Amino acid sequence: MKLSSRIQSLSGNASGAWDLFFRARTLIQEGEPVVELTVGEHDERTDPAILDAMYASAEGGHTGYAALPGTDSLRETVAARVQRQTGVPATLENVLITAGGQFALFAAHHAALDQGDTGLIIEPHYATYPGVILSLGANPHIVAARPEDAFQPRIPDLKAGIEAAAAAGSRAKSLLINSPNNPTGTVYDTETMDDLAAFCRDEDLWMISDEVYDTQVWQGTHVSPRALPGMAERTIVVGSVSKSHAMTGSRCGWVVGPADAIAHMGELTTHTTYGVPGFVQDAAEFALNMGPEAEARVAEPFRRRRDLALKVLAKQNTVTAIPPLGAMYVMLDIRATGLSGAEFAHRLLDRHRIAVMPGESFGEAAAGHIRVALTVADDVLEGALETLCAFAADPS
């Protein structure tokens, strides 16, 4: 039987984006000692108190069909958190609970795009972004940010994206941003965010803001576009407890946006995931109510390791770091080696059993770069980075 063209094209031009990751995992399964610096998975697992709350909820009977569009109490907790962060009023009607941030991205683009429309994506980008838009029968249009700008986007490039979509017979309807950014560690400064907001207002675009790393800001300030003038009615914020509370496997996220958009996205969950398990929602509510201090504890190892990485890199001059202002990664420029990011990463794995993600996994704008996840113990990370830098000095 013939498969649909749509499902066969979800990876777009990035079908090999995860090749190195799968190679590394295969080596690990075969018993090889690999230093795994590929994915944003916390090495310190979910707080036992959160797991106790999850267990108590399940034992208490919250194991049936989940409340749609999420339990009122969790939606109110998320609304209060977002209101506290942005200063913009929010109620539970502005919140949809989703099966992780990934489904939140899917729902947000469903709300913004019709078949044949164009969604703008800033590159480098998280590997799943184009596939989300392709799954709707819409067109992802990639707008490259530049390493010389520390991957801060430029408005003229975005305007060119609007024009390119129009020339192809499609209208751009949305802009997807991610700050703090995965993979680059860039945090969009206030001027950049003001410019992006003005661009969306001028071009009548939805802004979809992936803010799952909002608790991991090392320099500068996280600005949510929802807080900017004239943006609350055209902004859809994506969040989750995955990164903020080391709950990646719990698959609990949210969308915050205008109430009518949230209501329609709630209908989408009815026809797809049918919600998030009630005991997981209760655990997420417990986690969020632990307060900013708990979020800071989860974030602290990555702040410390970011500083450690910069200390190691300062001892040599072949590998340079894109300023890591936030998130749990450092993006390294290895163009001085003469290798692509993919060539460098595969040779590093072959010769030293250190696994990093090629920059090309996140789009051509990151060619000649690699992403290092700060997700192993400090001493292991320090040793791996020292080996990486020595290899970069002589990768032949």
> Cβ–Cβ contacts within 10 Å for residue 124, how many?
30
DSSP-assigned states of every residue in 283-334? HHHHHHTT-HHHHHHHHHHHHHHHHHHHHHHTT-SS-EE----BSSEEEEE-
Q: Round to whole Å and give the CA distance between 285 and 79.
A: 11
Instruction: Give domain 64-290's CATH architecture.
Output: 3-Layer(aba) Sandwich (3.40)
Residue 353 CA to residue 37 CA, distance in Å, equals 11
Cα 347 to its chain centre, rounded Å, is 27
The reported pLDDT for the residue numbered 396 is 83
pLDDT tens for residues 43-54? 999 999 999 999
d(CA 299, CA 330): 15
Question: 54, 48 in Cβ contact below 8 A?
Answer: no
Return the structure tokens found at 40.
Answer: 């944003």
Residues 282-310: tens digit of each pLDDT: 999 999 999 999 999 999 999 999 999 99
Whether pTM exceeds 0.75? yes
The ranges assigned to domains in the chain are: 5-45+293-393, 64-290
Question: What are the tens digits of pLDDT across the range 165-185?
Answer: 999 999 999 999 999 999 999
Cβ atoms of residues 202 and 213 within 8 Å: no
Count how many Cα atoms sit within 13 Å of the Cα of residue 236 in the half-sphere of its side chain.
28
3-state secondary structure of 346: helix
The pLDDT of residue 67 is 87
Question: What is the rounded CA–CA span in Å between residue 15 and residue 204?
Answer: 32
Half-sphere exposure of 374 (CA within 13 A, CB side): 28
Mean pLDDT of 319-337: 97
> What kind of fold does domain 5-45+293-393 have according to CATH?
Aspartate Aminotransferase, domain 1 (3.90.1150)
* Mean predicted confidence (pLDDT) in 332-358: 97
